Structure 1
Amino acid sequence: NHERLCVKGRYGFDYVHHPDRLTKPLIRRKDAPKTIELLQPKDWQKVFREATWEEALDFAADGFSKIRDENGPDALAAFGCAKGSNEEAYLLQKLVRTGFGTNNIDHCTRLCHASSVSALLEGIGSGAVSNPFTDVTDAEVIFLIGANPIGNHPVAATFMKNAVKAGKKLILLDPRRTALSRHATYNLQFRPDTDVALLNSLMHVIIKEKLCDEKYITEHTTDFEKLKSNVADYSPEKVAPICGIPEETLREVARTYATAESAIILWGMGISQHIHGTDNSRCLIALSLMTGQIGRPGTGLHPLRGQNNVQGTSDMGLIPMFFPDYKSVTDPENKKWFEDFWGTSLNPKTGLTVVEIVDAVHSGGVRGMYVQGENPAMSDPNLNHARGALSMLEHLVVQDIFLTETAGFADVIFPASAFPEKSGTFTNSNRQVQLGRQAIDPPGNARQDWWIIQEVARRLGVDWSYDGPEEIFSEIRKATPSMAGITWKRLQKEHSVTYPCNKEGDPGEAIVFRKGFPTANKKARFVPAKYTHADEMPDEEFPFVFITSRQLEHWHTGSMTRRATVLNAIEPYPVVHVHPDDLQKLGVEPGEAVTIESRRGKISTYSRQDPGVQQGNLFMSFGYNEAAANLITTSVLDPFGKIPEVKFCAVRMSAGGNPEMRIG
């Protein structure tokens, strides 16, 4: 990050000393039945009792063993943590695959960029970024869509603002007018859900005006004619009424991007969190390929990742369809290699994703879960459904630093370590692997996450004896060829090392695809996308579009940042962003309470007047448990990336309401 910090890095670290920290293992009392209601942390003694580590570990492992032996390995599942280290993620997925005997392992990538990764793997053979976000300083044109970097990726935003000051052009596309819009050459505030139509229209113009890089297309891609045929129907004249952007603006933006010497595309979860999220990303990939804007400085494709190590945890195989380094679990050669490497037989079936696991609990297929550092009782869509599943589990083990909303449903709780209390490697959005060094000890009797996972594994019959993160990282290098050249000692000496780095001494590749793509024919593939609507459109009964978002001050479900003094002082209450005219129609003054209701749930929150929001749209962060936005959202999935559509659902809004007391 070039020594640049965001507000969380400056002011968000005192959560580690909060009195709510878990310091001892807890076991659920026999007289404490599970319900869908959330537990107040101050009432924990009514539900849990303290236990020794030996008792808690034995109890956790016995519960898993019983379910595995009686119902089969696929009756177990696990959620991992994108805030933890690569070593922790590697061990957890290895435990699930070798100890549980299933591929039912997933984490929050399924809720942020799974559709982007699906499209990238399909189109160019790699699920990571092609260029670092710092390449915006080398780009003539920056094409940013479905992202709010000032709020969600503040460090990246500083480079974008620096680039604009240096004369670069910023094309900003988003249904909401964000703070970065004042720096934009073009600000396209399009209608939500019309991404594919808009992007196909840009490609239509580029092809019709012969602005494609024909040489690049011929030498480095396949299936261009399929794409050309598909976008022929998306003229600016047809698309302008759909997306709400004037046809001449569509033409100007297409020309600006296509004729640039270098242009980079960056996107956020406004692209990925739709049932057409994979199609959205397919369009961005095609836009880059057809103009040859990839494989050079200042070009390429960069999905801005959602958590500090979501890139690394995905690389480690914390996903149900891939072993480490994105090796398919259904490929016989990959399966044989990992069976030999780990010394055990492996399940040949693709596992279940986050939402599929929740559905499987309701149907009786999944009976036990291990949740490490994840908070599905807040982060999953359609929370009444998700919390219902958590309450139904026969055996739930939660490993965390606080008694989160999810931990309240647990049978066993392991007190774990926060970031400054552990050593390990982390991989950021730029594919830069960095070493985190332990600065303080975990509080009380809390333990290192890798140690806890290993102790559970041992009790499940897996013979592990790692002595720490360095030894685990040495195994990761063997399991992950793209990181084989990165050593622990090198990370101790250097600021970071970028993968792919295949051999010791290699500098690492910040920019990839210079000479082709990691596919069988070394070529990228165009995949056409048709414009489709969201699963649930607004109607007379539910006339508003509800869009979840993140915010500068808080981190996802708020379990850490709402316990950070400065950050929580700035944004202590849940708010929904509403266009002034919509508030006026309801007779609501800014700051007054409103009630929002969908077909799945209802919340009360405070209103915030925001002229940057289009009329008929509502934007809200999902990190406040007293007004949990995901009680509203739908769990319908993108068919390819299996990501839920939390960026679009139909709701109604009324004046009044009483936001619940905060839990925690």
Structure 2
Amino acid sequence: HPQRLTKPLIRRADAPKRGDFSMDPERVMDVFREATWEEALALAGDKFREIRDQYGKKSLVGFGSAKGSNEEAYLFQKLVRTGFGCNNVDHCTRLCHASSVVALIEGIGSGAVSNPVMDVTQAEVVIIIGANPTVNHPVAATWIKNAVKTGTQLVVCDPRRSDMARIAHRFLQFKPDTDVALLNAMMNVIVTEGLVDKDFIASRTIGYDELRKNVEGYSPEAMAPICGIDAETIKYVARLYANSKASMILWGMGVSQHIHGTDNARCLIALSLMTGQIGRPGTGLHPLRGQNNVQGASDAGLIPMMYPDYQPVSDPQVQARFEAAWGLPSGTLDDKPGLTVVEVMHAIEKGQIRGMYVMGENPAMSDPDASHARESLAALDHLVVQDIFLTETAYLADVILPASAFPEKTGTFTNTDRLVQMGRQAITPPGDAKQDLWIIQQIAARLGLDWHYTHVSEVFDEMRRTMPSIGGITWDRLEREHAVTYPCRVEGDPGQSVVFVDDFPR
């Protein structure tokens, strides 16, 4: 591509940063000048160290990528936590399924999907809410369409009519922002008509009585004028879902990208639990992920309140384990959750954040308030962007480091089904562009970190030692089998595609 970044760039002294910029990718050299890798890395790393030493460890932040490999995400968060010295690390999940993950961890102890997408072929009923798989998840859409052809009853719930509505058994075109009203009305029907799974509730849940009381006031008749779906249709769908031998729920950004996104997801989880529709093939909860490796990046620890494998940074035992694994003295790691990417933009305004390292993301475009984000990014003392194209965020950078695309490196990627897959390098990065793992290690060295990874497999082996859920997946096995589903805790374990069969993690 003619606009591919192939050389390190440094901002010109006569090109001040402005939040109200107008970007012209064809005139890059009006703003930047070419530099050697040594010059660019020295400026990038030395300035980070200077800011850390002058303003404190929490004056720096890292924004990682959900499009890179698991190993890149893992090393990036490790750099922020050990090199910057804080937990100010995040990625696009904050604007994606973070609300779903919060609800899932709160409700069932895990933020991952319970069943693979292909389980729709074993379901009698499938509910899709707030998602358009045909456009955004075409592989999932194919499984769903094939399931419908063989008799699965599909219910689509969405304010917009999508392609899936065309083949749906029922299409519930509810009013925007009334998800909770619709879902609570369904739960009201299930409770009042005795369609709950009493044994499942008794043995595997807590708080059912409180939930039952909460939904008493959400009758279909009361909610119909609010959500725009008539009471009889709500009752029909609730009965269909609860009475099925196997019902599955899939949802997308239409559920999660709300100020009440977590409540939306809580309702879906409650529906599944009160009916026992989880822990078996063809059942469960499946938040359809966004970018290609948002699952893996989250697993690897690109989250300000969690170490890899969703281990809380505030837990002293977890902190001690990671300090031991990373060869750090006791008490080195920060025990306070870091800032989210949205909080970071406000912290920059207050002068609390002075420097930012961005790898493969574009907050100048993805932030909910893009104008505010651009003004904040322009106000940074030091912004380093590692990417393959001149993004809007890169246009505000002090240093741009040309990185590698998917086919230009070897690494693992984890899809929405919890399937850890091997990606193999097919071509070399163009020009002077470098692989991301190499760049991260060069920045780490300039922050005083003594890392000696010579191959991506060494990073993966370290991940296995710190992430119990993938402890049984070896690099050799991935090279042989190409993909393994987690949890896979011990070598020889085939991997578990359906989780929560007997219990929920706590």
Per the alignment, residue 9 of structure 2 pairs with 26
Alignment of 1:29-68 (within 5 A): 29-36=12-19, 37-68=21-52
- What letter matches 1:165 in structure 2? K
1:459 aligns with 2:449: no
- The reply on whether 1:447 has 2:422 as its aligned counterpart is no
Q: CA deviation at 1:361?
A: 0.7
Q: Which amino acid aligns with 2:140?
A: A
Amino acid at match of 1:239: M
Residue 128, structure 1, aligned to residue 112, structure 2: yes
Aligned 8 A contact 1:38 1:405 in 2: no
Using the TM superposition, name which of 99-108 and 331-340 deviates more: 331-340
With normalisation by structure 1, the TM-score equals 0.75
SS in 2 for 1:34: coil
Q: Structure 1 residue 382: deviation in Å?
A: 1.0
Aligned-partner residue type, residue 20 of structure 1: Q
Partner SS, residue 420 of structure 2: strand
Question: Equivalent residue for 1:338?
Answer: 322
CA distance in 1, matches of 2:231, 2:122: 29
The Cα of 1:38 is off from its aligned counterpart by 3.4
> Does the 8 A contact of 1:77 with 1:370 survive in 2?
yes
Q: State the distance in 1 between where 2:470 and 2:482 align.
A: 16
Residue in structure 2 matched with residue 375 of structure 1 by the alignment: 362
CA deviation after TM superposition for structure 1 residue 66, in Å: 1.1
Q: Mapping of 1:525-540 within 5 angstroms?
A: none
Deviates more, 1:298-307 or 1:489-498: 489-498
2 CA distance for matches of 1:114 and 1:468? 31
The residue that corresponds to 1:5 in the other structure is: none
1:365 counterpart residue number: 352
| 1:318-356 deviation per Cα after TM superposition (whole angstroms, max 9, x unaligned) | 010000000000111111111111122101110000100
CA contact (8 A) 1:90 1:317 kept: yes
Q: 2:326, 2:359 → 1: CA distance?
A: 22
* % same residue: 66
Aligned residue number for residue 413 of structure 1: 400
Question: Counterpart amino acid of 2:311?
Answer: K
Matching residue of 1:14? none
SS of the residue corresponding to residue 333 of structure 2 reads: coil
**Paired amino acid for 2:93:** T
Over residues 235-290 of structure 1, what are the superposed CA-to-partner deviations in whole Å (9 max), with x where a residue is unaligned?
00100000000010000000000000000010001110111111100000000000
Q: Residue 184 of structure 1 corresponds to which residue in structure 2?
A: 168
Matches within 5 A, 1:144-159: 144-159=128-143
CA RMSD, Structure 1 to Structure 2 (Å): 0.6
Residues 140, 263 of structure 1: 8 Å contact kept? yes
Show structure 1 runs of 5+ residues with no match: 1-17, 520-664
- Of 87-96 and 361-370, deviating more is 361-370
Instruction: After superposition, give the CA deviation of every residue in 1:395-420 in whole Å (9 maximum; x if it has no partner).
Output: 00000001111100000000000000
Change (3 A) 1:38 1:465: farther
2:243 aligns with: 259
CA distance in 2, matches of 1:308, 1:417: 16
**Residue 496 in structure 1 maps to residue 483 in structure 2:** yes
Distance (Å, rounded) in 1 between the aligned partners of 2:335 and 2:372? 29
Per the alignment, residue 492 of structure 2 pairs with: 505
Contact 1:485-1:506 at 8 Å conserved across structures: yes
Confirm or deny: 8 A CA contact 1:217 1:224 kept in the other structure: yes
In structure 2, the partner of 1:277 is: 261
| Deviation of the 1:46 alpha carbon | 1.1
Q: What is the CA-CA distance between 1:81 and the residue it aligns to?
A: 0.4
The aligned counterpart of 1:617 is none
**Aligned-pair distance for 1:39?**
2.3
How far apart, in 1, do the equivalents of 2:131 and 2:341 lie? 23
- CA drift at 1:19: 1.1
Partner of 2:302: 318
Cα distance in 2 for residues equivalent to 1:40 and 1:90:
33
The letter of the residue matching 1:386 is A
> Does structure 1 residue 175 correspond to structure 2 residue 159?
yes
Asked if residue 90 in structure 1 is aligned to residue 74 in structure 2, the reply is: yes
Q: What amino acid maps onto 2:4 in structure 1? A: R
Local SS of the residue matching 2:309: helix
Residue 515 in structure 1 maps to residue 498 in structure 2: no
Letter in structure 2 aligned against 1:339: E
* Shift in Å, 1:133: 0.7
- Deviation digits for residues 561-613 of structure 1 (CA, Å, limit 9, x no counterpart): xxxxxxxxxxxxxxxxxxxxxxxxxxxxxxxxxxxxxxxxxxxxxxxxxxxxx
Give yes or no for the alignment of 1:102 onto 2:86: yes
What one-letter code is carried by the residue in structure 1 that aligns with 2:409? K
TM-score norm. by structure 2 comes to 0.99
User: Is the 1:113–1:273 Cα contact (8 Å) retained in structure 2?
Assistant: yes
Match of 1:166 in 2: 150
Contact 1:27 1:413 in 2 (8 A): yes
Question: What's the counterpart of residue 63 of structure 2?
Answer: 79
Range 37-46 or range 207-216, more displaced: 37-46
Q: After TM superposition, give the deviation of residue 377 of structure 1 in Å.
A: 1.1
The 1-side partners of 2:167 and 2:479 are apart by 38
Matched AA of 1:337: R
Q: Deviations over 1:284-322 (max 9, x none)?
A: 000000000000000000000001100000000001000
Deviations 1:106-153 (A, max 9, x none): 000001100000000001000100000110000000011000000110
Letter in 1 for 2:234: L
How far apart are 1:34 and its partner, in Å?
A: 0.3
Q: Deviations over 1:40-95 (max 9, x none)?
A: 11111111111111111010011101110111011100110000000000000000
Which is worse superposed, 134-143 or 31-40? 31-40
* Superposition map of 1:179-218 within 5 A: 179-218=163-202
Return the alpha-carbon distance in structure 1 between the equivalents of residues 344 and 138 of structure 2: 33
How do 1:283-294 and structure 2 match up within 5 A? 283-294=267-278
- List structure 1 segments (4+ residues) > 2 angstroms apart after TM superposition: none
Question: CA–CA distance in 2 between the matches of 1:91 and 1:388?
Answer: 29
Amino acid at match of 2:215: V
1:536-573 Cα deviation digits (max 9, x unpaired): xxxxxxxxxxxxxxxxxxxxxxxxxxxxxxxxxxxxxx
Q: Please give the secondary structure, in 1, of the residue aligned with 2:171.
A: strand
Tell me the SS of whatever aligns to 2:248.
strand
Q: CA separation in 1, counterparts of 2:336 and 2:191?
A: 42
1:111 maps to: 95
Asked if the contact 1:129/1:429 (under 8 Å) is kept, the reply is: yes
Aligned to 2:121: 137
Compare 28-37 and 439-448 and name the one that shifted more.
28-37
Question: Equivalents in 2 of 1:364, 1:243: separation in Å?
Answer: 44
> 2:10, 2:22 → 1: CA distance?
17
Question: Take 1:39 and 1:396, find their aligned partners in 2: how far apart are those partners?
Answer: 17
Higher helix share: 2
- 1:355 is matched with 342
Counterpart of 1:88 in 2: which secondary structure?
helix
Distance 1:411 1:343 in 2: 32
- Cα contact 1:38–1:408 (8 A) shared by 2: no
